[in-house]
A = this chain, B = another copy of it.
Amino acid sequence: MAKSLRLGIAGLGTVGVGLIKIIQDNADMLTMRTGTSISISAVSARSAGKDRGVDIAAYAWEDDPVALATRDDVDVFVELIGGDAGPALAATEAAIAAGKHVVTANKAMLALHGQALALAAEDAGVNLRFEAAVAGGIPIIKSLTEGLAGNNITRIMGVMNGTCNYILTRMETAGLSYDEVFEEANQLGYLEADPNLDVGGIDAAHKLVLLSAIAFGTQVDFDGAVLEGIGRITIEDIRAAGEMGYRIKLLGVTQMTDTGLSQTMRPCLVPQSSPLAQLDGGTNMIVVEGDSVGQVVLRGAGAGEGPTASAVIGDVMDIARGINIPVFGQPANTLKSAPAVQTAVESPFYIRLNLRDEAGAMAQVSTALADAGVSIDRMRQDGQQDATAPVLIETHPTSRQTLNAAIKAIEVTGVAIHSPVVLRIENL
């Protein structure tokens, strides 16, 4: 006779409903594959009466997710509420304290409280799993913690925010300004209640720092990540990048350097021929580099009901199969705290600046760059007649530090109308 595993699901939104559908529609398959009958004991959400398009009459209802998490008939607490604290965190903590396994899709909570929660879960001997929190349906957490676990990971890069991807692509194809597309995305309901989570790169950085912890055996360090949103990208930037052979993507890069951990999430130029450049809308891509395996690339839907629920049920099935590995791939009490640094790896940079209409302005910029040791690969200003047209510069490879010094020197001259837009060019 099959064993049984009983779930308590808190949060019946996009992901929660997706999970319920998978469980209702595939009971036999899940039992066949896990040797365990997976059932739902109870659910929780804000409004009990709401029609959610799935039949939840057979499940007990709890108004309070903490009460749900600690029920006797719940073996696994599935947290699909969201938010970095509040009821999601309270219920997760309560579940662990009550000896329940936890599966969550909540990157915000883990990016801020992952270390404490992992310690608690491992102390209690329960699973805390979060495949759905990073890149939706792509099995990246499993690949890193298990499949590629024999590698020293050297670098991970990824495009992991569908909304930013949508905005940048739409600006390019429709020739619209950032503000126009932002408004459009808002109307379409693509934006979070706090849109800065998406366009500020915060949501994507939440995901990146979870990958860092696994890859490098370090404590989750969201504060150490360097963030830059897409809000300053203009249609000129996108066009200029295109003419230079690049596309602009919100790209995350994490790597361990000699001096510490470098985690960056910011818009970058990537070659049009790169697989990263060819991502549309909600498709995510993650590139993992390991010392034995070389480069492995995973691509798939980064969000949405089905893909995200696919990741959640995968975690549930692992628990049903009795798999219990450390939350971040090695015991949480062995994760090291690494100093946050910016990588010293040199790369070319893209610079856009608008100059005051005064004689010698361009010469002052050139001099400032040269004095700081930044050499120019190509430079152009459209409409030679119009001295206020933006100046676009691609540098030869240099370090971010050197470039920052050059930018400061340009600002000191006073010839730039606004602080220059600087984007790294990642040739991958």
Contacts and interface: CB of A to CB of B under 8 A. Distances in A.
A170 to B, nearest CB: 20
Contacts of A292: 18, 22, 137, 306-307, 309-310, 313
A16 B313 CA distance: 35
A29 interface: yes
A116 interface: no
Contacts of A326: 33
A32 B316 CA distance: 25
Interface string A137-163: 111001100111111100000000000
Give the top 10 A-B pairs by smallest Cβ distance, nearest first. Answer: A139-B147, A150-B313, A137-B293, A296-B300, A293-B310, A292-B310, A292-B306, A297-B299, A142-B147, A32-B330
Contact of A296 (B137, B152, B217, B313): B137
A309 to B, nearest CB: 6
> Chain B CB within 10 Å — which of A30, A137, A147, A321 has the most?
A147
Contact of A143 (B143, B151, B152, B334): B143
Contact of A314 (B148, B291, B311, B321): B148
A300 B310 contact: no
Given A138-B296, A296-B137, A298-B296, A33 B317 contact: no
Interface of A: 18, 22, 26, 29-30, 32-35, 131, 137-139, 142-143, 146-152, 217, 275, 278, 290-301, 304, 306-307, 309-311, 313-314, 316-318, 321-323, 325-326, 329-331, 334
Identical subunits present: 2
A152 B30 CA distance: 10
Contacts of A301: 293-295
A118 to B, nearest CB: 14
> Chain B CB within 10 Å — which of A29, A300, A304 has the most?
A300
A37 to B, nearest CB: 14
B142 A310 contact: no
Contacts of A329: 33
A29 B307 contact: no
B275 A314 contact: no
Contacts of A138: 296
A329 B139 CA distance: 16
Nearest to A296: B300
Nearest to A306: B292
B296 A299 contact: yes
A18 B151 CA distance: 12
Contacts of A26: 150, 152
Given A296-B300, A306-B292, A331-B35, A146 B150 contact: no
A307 B293 contact: yes
22 contacts: A26-B152, A32-B334, A33-B149, A33-B326, A131-B147, A138-B296, A139-B139, A142-B147, A146-B323, A149-B313, A149-B314, A275-B299, A290-B310, A292-B306, A292-B310, A293-B306, A293-B310, A294-B300, A294-B301, A294-B306, A296-B298, A321-B323
A320 B311 CA distance: 24
A286 B278 CA distance: 18
B151 A147 contact: no
Contact of A150 (B275, B291, B299, B317): B317
A17 B379 CA distance: 51
A206 to B, nearest CB: 20
A260 to B, nearest CB: 19
Nearest to A23: B150
Nearest to A278: B275
B142 A143 contact: yes
A143 B131 CA distance: 12
> Chain B CB within 10 Å — which of A293, A298, A307 has the most?
A293
Contacts of A291: 306
Nearest to A217: B32
Given A152-B29, A294-B300, A146 B317 contact: yes
